[in-house]
């Protein structure tokens, strides 16, 4: 690394950049090519300044010492992930979920809530949107469906659990809907408990099989605008995980710019009235969904809360 005073730009050597990019790719699937080198350098420089470290070797020692997923490396992941999100993003798909998929799944299995997993939920706008739209559609959260929301970023999960949002999160939200489910204070909007209590937030790296194994079977998985940042090999691995976690007949909802082309043949594309979605073929199993390990996950994760 060529270190820098306030006037010189911070630079990683090619070898340092490759090593760091490789570490991030292996740990969380994020792909840093030459075009995102400046971003990575900027974030590392910021952390080094905050930690008062003058050489990259000292920083490297710190992230290796604590191990991936812990301490400074987790902090770096927080710094480099793209967290862009907002309420009711890709709304047609959410309409398909609440207006078509959920009624169908409730008819098939009327006795147990439909488990919905938001994988890569960022600061919580996506899972909270599902609960709000569910309430608007006359469903009873907790009885008709349950929402589990996970992310690799501790920082984003803290925000999600806090439930405080700025104007930018509402760029696609009608003011009436916002007024029904939020209270304004000092330029922030706080989500009502009637929505908040129906989302379980979990810290989970999609590439960590030991954590993913603790989740029970799901009827719906939303993983929107997440795999777009992964390389093909990682995308395949994550989609395979979703195939294993979804019940037969369950649905996979990806972002509008994402598809399974060249990644997986395990799903069928369904043209619903409101949007296109993927479905795992087969007849739904009739077993009641029981997520015995979720309590263990929550307990383990409670250390990550602020």
Ligand X SMILES: C[S@@+](CC[C@H](N)C(=O)[O-])C[C@H]1O[C@@H](n2cnc3c(N)ncnc32)[C@H](O)[C@@H]1O
Applying CB under 6 A, among 122, 169, 173, 241 the residue interacting with ligand X is: 122
Q: How far, in Å, CA of 53 to CA of 266, rounded? A: 48
Applying CB under 6 A, among 169, 173, 225, 241 the residue interacting with ligand X is: 225
Helices (H) and strands (E) in the chain, counts: 13, 10
Task: Please report whether residue 152 would count as binding ligand X according to CB under 6 A.
Answer: yes
Cross-strand pairs, 145:
114, 141
Task: Please report whether residue 62 would count as binding ligand X according to CB under 6 A.
Answer: no
Task: Please report whether residue 126 would count as binding ligand X according to CB under 6 A.
Answer: yes
Applying CB under 6 A, among 113, 115, 120, 134 the residue interacting with ligand X is: 120
Task: Please report whether residue 80 would count as binding ligand X according to CB under 6 A.
Answer: no
- Minimum CB distance to ligand X smaller for 173 or for 205: 205
**Three-state secondary structure of 169-187:** HHCCCCHHHHHHHEEEECC
| CA distance readout (Å), 276 to 221, 269, 290 | 14, 7, 29
Which two structure tokens, joined as six digits, stand for 161? Answer: 């659990």
Residue 260 sits at the vertex; the CA angle it makes with 169 and 38, to the nearest 5 degrees, is 55
3-state SS class at 74: helix
Cα dihedral 69, 72, 73, 74 sign? positive
| Contact region with ligand X (CB under 6 A), list: 14-22, 94-102, 116-124, 295-303 | 116-124
Task: Please report whether residue 206 would count as binding ligand X according to CB under 6 A.
Answer: yes
| Contact region with ligand X (CB under 6 A), list: 66-74, 115-123, 133-141, 292-300 | 115-123
| CA distance readout (Å), 281 to 75, 273, 306 | 39, 19, 41
Task: Please report whether residue 240 would count as binding ligand X according to CB under 6 A.
Answer: no
Task: Please report whether residue 82 would count as binding ligand X according to CB under 6 A.
Answer: yes
CB distance 270 to 250 below 8 Å: no
| Contact region with ligand X (CB under 6 A), list: 83-91, 101-109, 168-176, 209-217 | 83-91
| Contact region with ligand X (CB under 6 A), list: 61-69, 114-122, 241-249, 277-285 | 114-122
3-state SS class at 299: helix
Task: Please report whether residue 84 would count as binding ligand X according to CB under 6 A.
Answer: yes
Applying CB under 6 A, among 226, 239, 252, 254 the residue interacting with ligand X is: 226
Site pattern 18..37 for ligand X (x: CB under 6 A): ----------xxx-------
- The site for ligand X (CB under 6 A) is made up of 28-30, 81-85, 89, 120-122, 126, 151-153, 156, 205-207, 224-226, 255
């Amino acid at each position: 690394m060529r270190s820098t005073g306030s006037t010189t730009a911070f630079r990683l050597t090619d070898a340092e950049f490759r090593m760091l990019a490789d570490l991030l790719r292996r740990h969380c699937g994020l792909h840093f090519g030459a075009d995102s080198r400046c971003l990575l350098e900027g974030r590392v420089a910021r952390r080094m300044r905050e930690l008062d470290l003058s050489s990259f070797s000292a920083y490297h020692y710190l992230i290796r010492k604590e191990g991936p997923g812990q301490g400074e490396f987790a902090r770096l992941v927080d710094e480099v992930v793209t967290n862009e999100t907002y309420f009711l993003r890709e709304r047609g798909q959410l309409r398909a979920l609440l207006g078509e998929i959920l009624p169908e799944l409730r008819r098939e299995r009327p006795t147990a809530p439909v488990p919905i997993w938001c994988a890569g939920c960022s600061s919580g706008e996506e899972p909270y949107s599902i609960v709000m739209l569910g309430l608007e559609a006359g469903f009873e959260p907790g009885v008709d469906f349950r929402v589990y929301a996970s992310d690799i970023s501790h920082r984003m999960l803290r925000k999600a659990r806090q439930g405080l949002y700025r104007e930018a999160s509402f760029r696609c939200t009608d003011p009436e809907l916002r007024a029904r489910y939020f209270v304004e204070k000092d330029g922030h909007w706080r989500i009502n408990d009637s929505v908040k209590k129906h989302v379980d937030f979990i810290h989970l790296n999609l590439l960590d099989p030991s954590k993913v194994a603790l989740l029970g079977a799901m009827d719906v998985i939303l993983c929107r605008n997440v795999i777009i940042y992964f390389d093909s090999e990682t995308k395949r691995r994550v989609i395979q995980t979703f195939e294993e976690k979804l019940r037969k007949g369950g649905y996979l909802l990806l972002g509008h710019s994402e598809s399974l082309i060249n990644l997986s043949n395990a799903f069928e594309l369904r043209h619903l009235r409101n949007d296109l979605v993927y479905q795992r073929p087969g007849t739904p199993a009739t077993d009641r969904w029981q997520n015995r390990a979720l309590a263990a996950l929550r307990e383990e994760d409670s250390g990550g809360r602020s």
